[in-house]
Amino acid sequence: MAVPARVLALGAACLVALPPGAAGTALRPAATTPPHASPLAPIGPPRSVAHSGQDDVVALTAPPGALVPPGRPGAPTDRPSTVARAGRPGPNALAGRAGPAAPARLARSGRLAARSCAEPPLVWGNVPRTREYLEAITKCLEKSWSAHFARAGLAFEKPVVRFYEEPEQRVCGVRWPSSASAFYCTERGTLVFLLTGDWIEDRTDLYPLKVAAHEYGHHVQSLTGIRRHYEARIRADHAHHAELGRRYELQADCLSGVFIGSVWGSLSRSGDDWAAVVETTRATGDDDERRSHGKGANRAYWLKRGFTAVSPAACDTWKAAPSRVS
């Protein structure tokens, strides 16, 4: 879950599970660079999620094989190229400067402005372009959220983005989260993406985009102080530790829906594509043994809620009934 100085592996709707035996493989990260504008491409559903207590990392997993969606359905619808350097103000420090009112200001900030986000192919001429795809999507996320923060009068700092061809033994100063293909290092404000695996290779659906938007949602939570408040509540209420963690994860699902809704008009996707990513998200819900991200029905509910409202105000999972965050 989200605990200071530890790694969080998120569930099916956000990250993707690594191929069997991949975890722990020591490899040099693909030269990392700051997020750049590029489109989206094929994706598949998440497989599983695992939480590993070590440093602040939030990871997700996705099941293989997702569909490709087409136009918007229904109404309303560490560090680039290097590891974070010591002394770099992380999102928690930024949240402190933003002040305790930041979460409320985000809630009152209105709709995320409609923007264009070109979704590039994940494969071009039989050559995988997963990195280019993710660079393009993270750039779109940066433009949308930075502009939204500016309008709301909130301080913004873009996250560091790192790419790996294979998982390393350690990342962000901690062990690579088990079975994680995408995650967020909270203390270093870093998004980490594995460029291989079922979650992104040979996909034609919106799942990879949804995963990237979910992880970026965790960055938004850190920048606005939501994560800080979440950690404080966990320390004060151990009995509801698991439920609080699900509220945190489901809010990131909702924020991913807000972003997708804001760029939907520019995506060459159909209602079937949207329905497909919703079902993929539903399939990545918690099972009887894992209760970290919420049941499939609730993950789908919060994703659709954000997509329809296109506003962070719709993502207040902290006041939702327990049945909506189970």
Q: How far apart are CA 173 and CA 4, in angstroms?
A: 13
d(CA 184, CA 83): 13
C-alpha neighbours within 13 Å on the C-beta side of residue 93: 8
What is the C-alpha to C-alpha distance for residues 158 and 190, in angstroms, rounded to an integer? 9
- Give the start-end residues of each E strand in the chain: 7-9, 57-60, 123-124, 127-128, 160-164, 170-171, 174-175, 182-185, 190-194
Of the candidates 293, 285, 298, 253, the residue with the CA atom closest to the CA atom of residue 45: 285
The pLDDT assigned to 126 comes to 87
Instruction: State the pLDDT at residue 90.
Output: 53
How far apart CA 128 and CA 323 sit, in angstroms, is 41
Between strands 127-128 and 123-124, the pairing is antiparallel
CA angle (12, 211, 308) in 5-degree steps: 100
The residues, ordered by sequence, that sit 6+ positions from 169 with a Cβ below 8 Å of its Cβ are: 24, 25, 26, 175, 176
Q: Which backbone phi and psi does 291 adopt, to 5 degrees?
A: -125, 60
Q: Which of 30, 6, 62, 40 is nearest to 231 (CA)?
A: 6
Two structure tokens written together for 15: 């990250």
Domain ranges of the chain: 7-80+87-325
Between CA 212 and CA 259 the distance in angstroms is 10
Mean pLDDT by 10 residues, the chain (326 residues): 34 33 32 32 33 40 34 30 35 50 83 96 91 98 97 95 95 90 94 96 95 98 94 90 93 98 96 97 84 91 98 95 94
3-state class (DSSP) for residue 177: coil
In angstroms, rounded to a whole number, what is the distance separating the alpha carbons of residues 182 and 131? 13
- Can you tell me whether residue 30 is helix, strand or coil? strand
**What backbone phi and psi angles, to 5 degrees, belong to 282?**
-60, -40
Question: Distance between CA 287 and CA 289 in Å, rounded?
Answer: 6
Would you give the distance in Å from CA 182 to the centre of its chain? 8
Pairing of strands 160-164, 190-194: parallel
The span from the CA of 28 to the CA of 326, in Å, is 39
pLDDT value, residue 192: 97
* Model pLDDT for residues 119-161, shown as the tens digit of each residue: 999 999 888 999 999 999 999 999 999 999 999 999 999 999 9
| Residue (of 303, 256, 279) closest to 137 by Cα position | 256
- CA dist 257 and 55 (Å) reads 27
Regarding pTM above 0.85, the answer is no
Q: Is 86 exposed, middle or buried (0-12, 13-18, 19+ CB in 10 A)?
A: exposed
| β 182-185/190-194 pair status | antiparallel
